[in-house]
Structure 1
């Protein structure tokens, strides 16, 4: 079923939830702001225990909006820190990490891509699931092709885009299609969920199977269509500190923020499901 009318209500709810989350986060940051002291920019903490330095986070593309918000809040809470993000397909990010790319934190869109990192011995400790995400069909505004189900994507002449099968959103889409015993030949496979959604936003495709959170983030540029098979393809998102983290203390603090009640408010306001 389409969500045209419900989108307006949900937009107001999401905006309100997001504002409440940020207010809660800001309240938590006031004591740190007042007591922060100058520290070495390359270190993880000063002699007084305050965090400092850069935190490099590799995160799934679908986390871009939420993590950007949390990164800004983290810097507000810890004025001598800077959070730098690299967003992209989880498989590509995992390959970069195992190839030696410097990073402190990895947040993946699936346990399978996280396993690439853990199997290589590049994770510190056991990754933990911090949110979940489900699929949705993104169509052109107004849903001119009257798409109401996953099966409708198999209509002749319809231009559909999927994420690459190696990317978590693509693997989840394949799982949903298999659960429905459907075969779909897309006009293209994209390297991450944002690229797939952009094809619809630019009207280069009629529809794309993406995450619900990305449909929310796109606002009125696309129309969201829920489908029952998405229940068979919900993705868990794990996060971990990396073994060779250059700023382990600050990285741990960022992970703590993501997993905190305040961090979860920001994530659920964006449409993520609780773990």
Structure 2
């Protein structure tokens, strides 16, 4: 081989190696670009899944303390969200929802009141029972009237208040009275369980038939008396996302929190029974 041929061959080899290097660099650049694009895409997707805005929850009055706690936890877990509550008698809340009041979630104190909403087609899916609740007698601190049974409330001179018969706690109280074959004419019927309890707290009544959770929430302001007839009148609490929920994704996430182990721990800690 001549000197000129060998020189030409070396030149072609160097050129080929240079081209290969350029192709390798180009491939790396393309790979890095694709990886970056994938990462950006994942970040964007994660960002788009982030919850935000207000979630409005209509809930039975007996859920006030535990749901308020869970609402704060929800906001902590999902920065940028806010949970607002409307607490009251389940029947009144159901009427508001079927009347068009904007809300995302409804948690009722009985299946009967939830049915008012589901019958109108205002819920998504089938409501699920997330807790149960049992009645107790709330008396003045230290139980000055020595109340030990439901029958004691029927004695003359006792000023007793009950929830309205259309409210779940009132319907449960009547069921317990029926189970004991007892008749009781209360001093007043209250629109929700908190109003009934408050009559005792303010010493405007000697006793009230309320939920055990409300007695516990009141602390030393009242004393609780258990009675066997309450076992015949335990209420299931259903929860559901509403069909026209303004913030459906946050509504689903709030219900998930309520039904989670963390949510159940908060609820049972407040005195509710497991579903």
Query: How many residues in Structure 1 have an aligned counterpart in Structure 2?
Result: 232
Q: Say whether the 8 Å CA contact 1:46–1:52 is kept in structure 2.
A: no
Name the SS of the counterpart of 1:174 in structure 2.
helix
Which aligned pairs between 1:152-231 and structure 2 lie closer than 5 A? 152-231=152-231
Name the SS of the counterpart of 1:209 in structure 2.
strand
Q: What residue is the counterpart of 1:86 in the other structure?
A: 86
Deviation at 1:195, TM superposition (A): 0.1
- Partners of 2:70 and 2:199 lie apart in 1 by 27
Q: Say whether the 8 Å CA contact 1:75–1:82 is kept in structure 2.
A: yes
Q: What residue is the counterpart of 1:109 in the other structure?
A: 109
- Partners of 1:89 and 1:232 lie apart in 2 by 21
Which aligned pairs between 1:92-171 and structure 2 lie closer than 5 A? 92-171=92-171
Name the SS of the counterpart of 1:240 in structure 2.
strand
Which of these two proteins has the greater Rg computed from alpha carbons?
A: 2
After TM superposition, the score normalised by the length of structure 2 is 0.83
Name the SS of the counterpart of 2:49 in structure 1.
coil
After TM superposition, the score normalised by the length of structure 1 is 0.83
Q: Which has the higher contact order (CA 8 A, sep 6+)?
A: 1
Deviations 1:98-149 (A, max 9, x none): 0000000000000000000000110111000000000000000010001000
Q: What residue is the counterpart of 2:256 in the other structure?
A: 256
**Do the aligned partners of residues 199 and 46 (structure 1) sit closer, same or farther apart at CA in structure 2, a change above 3 Å counting?**
farther
The runs of 5 or more residues in structure 1 that have no matched partner are 1-38, 40-44
- Partners of 1:224 and 1:65 lie apart in 2 by 18
Name the SS of the counterpart of 2:144 in structure 1.
coil
Q: What residue is the counterpart of 1:20 in the other structure?
A: none
Q: What residue is the counterpart of 1:235 in the other structure?
A: 235
- Partners of 2:232 and 2:46 lie apart in 1 by 48
**Do the aligned partners of residues 128 and 207 (structure 1) sit closer, same or farther apart at CA in structure 2, a change above 3 Å counting?**
same
Deviation at 1:48, TM superposition (A): 3.0
Q: What residue is the counterpart of 1:16 in the other structure?
A: none
Q: Say whether the 8 Å CA contact 1:61–1:193 is kept in structure 2.
A: yes
Deviation at 1:224, TM superposition (A): 0.3
The runs of 5 or more residues in structure 2 that have no matched partner are 1-43
Deviation at 1:47, TM superposition (A): 4.4
- Partners of 2:99 and 2:133 lie apart in 1 by 27
- Partners of 1:155 and 1:127 lie apart in 2 by 40
Deviation at 1:274, TM superposition (A): 0.2
